[in-house]
Amino acid sequence: MTKVSMTVNGKPASGEAEGRTLLSSFLREELELTGTHVGCDTSQCGACVVHVNGVAVKSCTMLAIEAEGAEVATIEGQAAADGTLNTVQQAFQDHHGLQCGFCTPGMVMSATALLKDNPKPSEQEIREYLEGNLCRCTGYHNIVKAIMAASGQDVSAIAAE
Amino acid sequence: MPKDSGIGASPKRREDQRFLTGNGNYTDDINLRGQAYVHFLRSDVAHGRITSIDTTAASAMPGVVRIFTGDDFEGVGGIPCGWQITDKHGEVMQEPAHPVLAQGKVRYVGDAIAAVVAETADQARDAAEAIELDIEELPAVINMKEAVKEGATKVHDDLTSNLCYDWGFVEENKPAVEEAFANAAHVTTLELVNNRLIANPMEPRVAVGDFNRSTGDSTLYTTSQNPHVIRLLMGAFVLGIPEHKLRVIAPDVGGGFGTKIFHYAEEAFCTFAAKALNRAVKWTSSRSEAFITDAHGRDHVSTIQLALDADNNFTALRTDTYANMGAYLSTFAPSVPTWLHGTLMAGNYKTPLIYVNVKAVFTNTVPVDAYRGAGRPEATYQLERVVDKAARELGVDPIALRRQNFITEFPYATPVAVEYDTGDYNATMDKLEEIADLKGFAARRAASEAKGKGRGLGVNCYIEACGIAPSNLVGQLGARAGLYESATVRVNATGGLVVMTGSHSHGQGHETSFPQVIADMIGIDESMVEIVHGDTANTPMGMGTYGSRSLAVGGSAMVRATEKIIAKAKKIAAHLMEAAEADIELKDGAFSVAGTDKSVAWGDVTLAAYVPHNYPLEDIEPGLEETAFYDPANFTYPSGAYACEVELDPETGKVSIERFAAADDFGNIVNPMIVDGQVHGGIGQGIGQALLEAAIYNEDGQLLSASYMDYAMPRADDLPFYQVDHSCQTPCTHNPLGVKGCGEAGAIGSPPAVVNAVVDALQSMGKDITHVDMPLSPARVWTAMNE
């Protein structure tokens, strides 16, 4: 076991990790940040996406010890302290961009990373960017719509709410 | 103006706050003090005899608590099946034993052989690798038609063959059907495969067993759509724990789609081991494990024939299906190809004579059971493909042929044992033609062709039987359970309500939509109503969520309980206002006396119920809490019409969905936003089935598509925006809400639309291709074009 320290959602955090411990497991089991979900074991589903030093990363593809000293942002750090949702989160609620909620943390973190690099993505750019995030509930319709809305685009012409 | 609250409004979902902030409480988020972890050693061969299991070295590995094998489960019950089919000869189906851990033989890749419990999950996995195992491999039985041949290797040595049942429906109709075919002016025949699918809810299954040494009670936390059903099946049939000593909790569940209905061996193991070891035991499925242990769906091979007279009226229909059961009978498996499939073969049409044959077959594959739609997609796909093929053969417009044969008068008793209460199939088809802009198709095809692409339009209808189900009826059909639903409505002294429902929400948004109904009935704010579900300790016996039943059955129970609450509250209000009970009216959260200005608020009445100082104690008890069980009188029959437009690249065979429209009739709608979301998700899964997904076994019984690297899940760029509409509403006549259910429609209605569209595109490109089996991958389409 090795002691690993990092900054998570702006606060110092540390815990014990084996060499093989994945960042996703470390966040969930050691730091008890269970908002980051694990939906597969082949780095395909994207439910575990977090930001490491400002970059979207599937936390199951990274060892915990590789995040030593890093700035990590997870879904738990996205809303204001009083629970007020940020723009992306609010758009997901407003446009029913989630159902069971399991893929949602990864979707929100991916969408946030996309909008940082591309503030007004087209529908196609959003769909292509989400290639690494699987959702089984929504058929993606309302997720794509929510992300367009979060970027300030008028989505009223897109088929029914 | 859209309403902002109550029935018909789309308030924002209250569950979203916790899901969007990482505060959901899924089963894998639960860790109990002193918890150990289990890892299952699973068979990597499809069929074999276990000749030895040596756990000596593994038991000495660091952190190992105990290793369990099949021997530890001698005397423990097997996993039960909840449905018994009687075949066409009047014999009951063959039903093999289904042990918690393999006993003597393994029967599919993934069958659990041993369970290693250790201090950490990694230690359990490491030790499982150290178990020395000898398996004498036997020939694998994979192909259904081979499996039922004389002399085939048997999956279960103690059964007479691999045939679970040979079902004929309705057997007495068979001679008349044969005669109608003999006299037909035209017969269209189609052989097709309904591809085997894996449900793949994004949350893998998890089970945490716990044992309370103080009370002797067992608790299971599990990813289930129906915790009471698990409690009953596991308690009564597997472990012998009475229900009052067993609590099952299904907290936030990350999608189900059917595959989380069933009682699985891992649930029984964790509950059993927690008691044996006197500590909590947790199992978290990896996705790789999910592929080889979650019940699969579909997997039918069918031949369907449609007979028409000289005026193109449908005169008879017959279909023969081989349905894969896998290696064991999962909870509802036998009902899927029979009562959820044969009874739907009339579809939207007044075909007078129908005969359905289904041979259910055991193979060395993962058990197959209900997946979103369950039997109804298989029925719809066969029917809507054969009707489309008939239209093409006859040179008539496929929509006109459908309209000509639509059922138009209700109630309508089909020749396959069900009675549709309401519907208006022309209305949904009219609506579809409008929203899909079918008039504009020719121009869009021309535009595609100008780019060197083919373009096709596919249209189909569907009907489904939802709101599952009338208990007395399903009892006659072989169900070993009732299919009612329950609700307890507890009104607190200060006027707020807690509704404890047997329904379960795993994405459907019940915490938002159910209060809309209650709030409307009483005239109070939705925020005063809280929904409790998913815990057998604080909800009445319920049957859970599947078969698009939550609102139609669970919601009806909730309405009935609330009606009892209102009736009692009126008695209290009458007493408080010294008026006759018959004169009391409830509106906008206040009770008034008709024709007077006397009024008393909802909160004053609820307070009086719990502080009964001025109260009719001689007539009624204090308190305000009521329970209702609702057993539906019939199924509900949602219906609709779907249209898909595809573009086809002749160079690669790649199909892209350009437009998709759905016009559904769900009866009354409580929350349009949630209904749209349900339809979107169903369409996404249906397009997935049609274009992408397939669980493929090789002849040795290895699942080749056993990860997201190989099983093509629909991704955002595979799918379009959908045009959905549910303004056509013929309310259900036999439940108090007039609702029909919307959860499965998309998955039922969409695959034939996609395949019809691809065949249309191929035909328009001069290819004489009348069918391609799903999934319509580029390889399959290209091969069909170039063969």
Decide if A161 is inside a domain.
Answer: no
Residue B195 has pLDDT above 80, yes or no: yes
Q: Which of B12, B15, B20 has the highest number of chain A CBs within 10 A, making it the mutation to test binding with A?
A: B20
* Structure confidence by residue, pLDDT tens digits, B110-158: 999 999 999 999 999 999 999 999 999 999 999 999 999 999 999 999 9
Packing angle, helices B425-435 and B398-405, rounded to 10? 160
Interatomic CA distance for residues A126 and A130, integer angstroms: 6
**Residue A68 shares a structural domain with residue A122:** no
Interatomic CA distance for residues B783 and B166, integer angstroms: 35
Tell me the CB-side half-sphere exposure of residue A9, using CA atoms within 13 A: 17
pLDDT at B2: 61
Which ranges of chain A have pLDDT less than 50? Answer: 161
Q: Are the Cβ atoms of A36 and B288 closer than 8 angstroms?
A: no
Interatomic CA distance for residues B574 and A155, integer angstroms: 51
pLDDT at B146: 98
- Contacting residues for B25 by C-beta, under 8 A, at least 6 apart: B18, B251, B252
Number of domains in chain B: 2
pLDDT at B787: 85
Domain final position from A27, A47, A75: A75
Decide if B406 is inside a domain.
Answer: no
- Give contacts of B 198-237 with A, CB under 8 A: 200-204
Output the CA–CA distances (angstroms, integers) from residue B516 to A58, B527, B561, B673, in the order listed: 38, 9, 15, 13
- Decide: B398 and B432 in contact? Cβ < 8 Å: no
Decide if A82 is inside a domain.
Answer: no
Q: How high is the mean pLDDT of chain B?
A: 97
- Give contacts of A 43-72 with B, CB under 8 A: 44-45, 47
User: To the nearest 5 percent, what fractions of chain A are helix, strand and coil?
Assistant: 35, 15, 45
Tell me the CB-side half-sphere exposure of residue A119, using CA atoms within 13 A: 1
Q: Which residue of A has its CA nearest to B9?
A: A161
**Residue A94 shares a structural domain with residue A67:** no
**Residue A65 shares a structural domain with residue A93:** no
Residue B763 has pLDDT above 80, yes or no: yes
Tokens of A113: 């990373």
Decide if A145 is inside a domain.
Answer: yes
- Contacting residues for B471 by C-beta, under 8 A, at least 6 apart: B479, B482, B483, B484, B631
**Residue A54 shares a structural domain with residue A99:** no
Q: Give A69 to chain B, closest Cα distance, Å.
A: 23
**Residue A9 shares a structural domain with residue A70:** yes
Chain-centroid distance of CA B522 in Å reads 32
Q: Which residues pair with B209 in a beta bridge?
A: B220, B281
Interatomic CA distance for residues B604 and B483, integer angstroms: 37
Decide if A68 is inside a domain.
Answer: yes
Q: Are the Cβ atoms of B22 and A74 closer than 8 angstroms?
A: yes
Let me know the angle formed at the C-alpha of B205 by B368 and B31, rounded to the nearest 5 degrees: 160
Decide if A80 is inside a domain.
Answer: no
Count residue pairs from A and B with Cβ separation < 8 A.
200
Domain final position from B232, B251, B284: B284
**Residue A63 shares a structural domain with residue A93:** no
Tell me the CB-side half-sphere exposure of residue B768, using CA atoms within 13 A: 1
Q: Are the Cβ atoms of A83 and B17 closer than 8 angstroms?
A: yes
Domain final position from A52, A75, A98: A75
Task: Output the domain CATH number for residue A116.
Answer: 1.10.150.120
Query: What are the chain B neighbours of A38 within 8 Å (beta carbons)?
Result: 28, 204
Domain final position from B284, B317, B346: B284
Radius of gyration of chain A (CA): 16
* Structure confidence by residue, pLDDT tens digits, B577-607: 999 999 999 999 999 999 999 999 999 999 9
Q: Are the Cβ atoms of B717 and A102 closer than 8 angstroms?
A: no
Q: Which of B4, B12, B16 has the highest number of chain A CBs within 10 A, making it the mutation to test binding with A?
A: B16
Q: Which residue of A has its CA nearest to B436?
A: A159
Q: Give per-residue burial for A104-116: e unless 16+ CB within 10 Å, then b.
A: bbbbbbbbbbbbe
Q: Which residue of A has its CA nearest to B202?
A: A39
**Residue A6 shares a structural domain with residue A63:** yes
Helix (H, G, I), strand (E, B) or coil at B674: helix
Provide the residue type at B776 as one letter. Answer: L
- Decide: B780 and B772 in contact? Cβ < 8 Å: yes
Helix (H, G, I), strand (E, B) or coil at B556: helix
Asked if B3 is an interface residue toward chain A (Cβ–Cβ < 8 A), one would say no
Q: Give A29 to chain B, closest Cα distance, Å.
A: 9
Determine the average pLDDT of the residues in B432-452: 98
* Structure confidence by residue, pLDDT tens digits, B643-659: 999 999 999 999 999 99
Q: Give A63 to chain B, closest Cα distance, Å.
A: 15
Asked if A118 is an interface residue toward chain B (Cβ–Cβ < 8 A), one would say no
Q: Are the Cβ atoms of B716 and A36 closer than 8 angstroms?
A: no
Asked if B526 is an interface residue toward chain A (Cβ–Cβ < 8 A), one would say no
Interatomic CA distance for residues B750 and B738, integer angstroms: 25
pLDDT at B5: 87
Decide if B640 is inside a domain.
Answer: no
Q: What is the pTM of this model?
A: 0.97
* Structure confidence by residue, pLDDT tens digits, B613-669: 999 999 999 999 999 999 999 999 999 999 999 999 999 999 999 999 999 999 999
Domain final position from A46, A75, A104: A75
Let me know the angle formed at the C-alpha of A24 by A18 and A30, rounded to the nearest 5 degrees: 55
**Residue A117 shares a structural domain with residue A139:** yes
Determine the average pLDDT of the residues in B487-497: 98
Asked if B22 is an interface residue toward chain A (Cβ–Cβ < 8 A), one would say yes
**Residue A8 shares a structural domain with residue A63:** yes
Decide if B467 is inside a domain.
Answer: no
Decide if A100 is inside a domain.
Answer: yes
Decide if B391 is inside a domain.
Answer: no
Residue B97 has pLDDT above 90, yes or no: yes
Q: Residue B605 sits in which domain range?
A: 484-630
Q: Which residue of B has its CA nearest to A88?
A: B20
Interatomic CA distance for residues B289 and B509, integer angstroms: 28
Number of domains in chain A: 2
Decide if B157 is inside a domain.
Answer: no
Length of chain B: 787
Q: Which residues pair with A75 in a beta bridge?
A: none
DSSP, residue by residue, A119-143:
SS--HHHHHHHGGG---SSSTTHHH
Dihedral pair phi/psi, residue A105, rounded to 5°: -55, -45
Interatomic CA distance for residues B71 and B53, integer angstroms: 11
Radius of gyration of chain B (CA): 27
pLDDT at B556: 98
pLDDT at B774: 98
- Decide: B740 and B732 in contact? Cβ < 8 Å: yes
Q: Residue A6 sits in which domain range?
A: 2-75
Tokens of B698: 């090789």
Q: Give B372 to chain A, closest Cα distance, Å.
A: 11
Asked if B15 is an interface residue toward chain A (Cβ–Cβ < 8 A), one would say yes
Q: How high is the mean pLDDT of chain A?
A: 97
pLDDT at B3: 76
Interatomic CA distance for residues B482 and B480, integer angstroms: 7
Query: What are the chain A neighbours of B12 within 8 Å (beta carbons)?
Result: 93-94
Domain final position from B284, B301, B320: B284
Determine the average pLDDT of the residues in B749-764: 98
* Structure confidence by residue, pLDDT tens digits, B230-261: 999 999 999 999 999 999 999 999 999 999 99
**Residue A52 shares a structural domain with residue A94:** no
Residue B326 has pLDDT above 90, yes or no: yes
Asked if B63 is an interface residue toward chain A (Cβ–Cβ < 8 A), one would say no
- Give contacts of B 495-524 with A, CB under 8 A: 506-509
Decide if B95 is inside a domain.
Answer: no
Decide if B240 is inside a domain.
Answer: yes
pLDDT at B625: 98
pLDDT at B144: 98
**Residue A8 shares a structural domain with residue A53:** yes
Q: Are the Cβ atoms of A134 and B715 closer than 8 angstroms?
A: yes
Task: Output the domain CATH number for residue B256.
Answer: 3.30.365.10
Q: Give A109 to chain B, closest Cα distance, Å.
A: 10
* Structure confidence by residue, pLDDT tens digits, B32-63: 999 999 999 999 999 999 999 999 999 999 99
Decide if B559 is inside a domain.
Answer: yes
Q: Is the peptide bond before B411 cis (omega within 30 degrees of 0)?
A: yes
Helix (H, G, I), strand (E, B) or coil at B196: coil
Output the CA–CA distances (angstroms, integers) from residue B373 to B76, B280, B381, B749, in the order listed: 33, 36, 11, 9
Q: Are the Cβ atoms of A33 and B22 closer than 8 angstroms?
A: yes
Interatomic CA distance for residues B318 and B305, integer angstroms: 5
Output the CA–CA distances (angstroms, integers) from residue B181 to B2, B405, B464, B700, in the order listed: 52, 17, 26, 40
Interatomic CA distance for residues B122 and A17, integer angstroms: 12
Task: Output the domain CATH number for residue A57.
Answer: 3.10.20.30
Q: Which of B156, B101, B97 is nearest to B131 (CA)?
A: B101
* Structure confidence by residue, pLDDT tens digits, B214-224: 999 999 999 99
Q: Give A20 to chain B, closest Cα distance, Å.
A: 10
